[in-house]
Structure 1
Amino acid sequence: MGGDAPQAIRKLAPGKLVIASHNEGKVREIRALLAPFGIEPVSAKELDLPEPVENGTTFVANAELKARSAADLSGLPALADDSGLCMDALNGDPGVYTANWAETADGSRDWNLAMRKVEDALAAKGPEVGRDAHFVCVLALAWPDGHVEWFEGRSEGTLTWPPRGTVGFGYDPVFVPLGRDQTYAELPPEEKHAISHRADAFRQLVSAVF
């Protein structure tokens, strides 16, 4: 998959790769996933690159927007992630607007607030509301010449309340992946990396470009 029309997958050579994110949790996970492949990750924050306005209406659009911006500004290949929590009972919300649910009046992000908003929205549906959920992750890999490849991963599970665990970031403390009793935030990082939506997308990327 990737690009706007069928094209040969472009391979990624060893060397520097911009991780087009200012989210330290995402950067940490992607660094760990890249470690075996001779890649030298450098984050957008380390390069002092601005955060582009994420005005896409899909995960693919936002991931491509971020990757293209970082590749254009840095002159290096860039990898961007756009991911989110989708609740079946909320018609897919918060979905592509996952981070928006965490925004506060001063422009910062409060993930405890975001988790509470999701729980309140479910509670408003009544005590019998379904709690099935899934995470989606789209990884977009862009080169300075404008070529883009993208890969979409998914992780099924349910939402729990109250939040549990101190590892991870975002909605991890309330998401219990399918077949597990622990939330993402309770699992050791290496275990989460093996089963997460980001790991699913990353496996596809590795198979295609390394």
Structure 2
Amino acid sequence: MPIEPPPTQWHLDLSQAEPGEDLIGVGADLEPGTLLTAYRSGIFPMGLGVRGRGTLGWWSPDPRGVLLPGDLRVSRSLRRSCARFEFRVDTAFAQVVAQCAAPGRKGRWITPPIEQAYVELHRLGWAHSVETWLGGELVGGLYGVAVGGLFAGESMFHRVTDASKAALVHLVSLVSPTDALIDVQWSTDHLATLGVTEVSRTAYLGLLSDAVRRPLPAAFATLSR
């Protein structure tokens, strides 16, 4: 099971957040205890500067993009793609984060401090990767934070068509037995085709409160070091 880190020194909550406002705070740090307090409160970090540099921002989108396992939509072509991939969990976490942070990626926001912070969360058993492999090569995947029945997705990448979508499909299969909540932060047209919907911050916090009390999916319950 995951190792609980020392508590954060920061006060992180949404009591002062305005409806429709996504950015709810700045500063603090990326210590494991801070990150876990944030996720348990419906908050996540991302830098405010170009490519995620500069001052650390704390975000709680309103509305919020979520995927409930029963809402997943898989096209026939994606189903065929899934059949040709191999899926693994937590065998290449650092590589998945590095691919998501690759310098040439459009919209890149993952800085070295963010990368290091999530590698440490992974060491403690809280952050996980779902990986797509083809012919023994890592071709796609995603990573995020699992707290009880919450999986807070952070980023995904693909080097082969459908490899990131396939990772999300496999993630759903892993968390479905616990009726988990998959948080994707902001919905996009791409994610909407897979069944992602938007809910208000108030509704999200209700879903979150229920999710974090649920059991951790078995795929994420073994501590990897």
* TM-score normalised by structure 2 residue count: 0.29
* TM-score normalised by structure 1 residue count: 0.30
Higher relative contact order (CA 8 A, sep 6+): 2
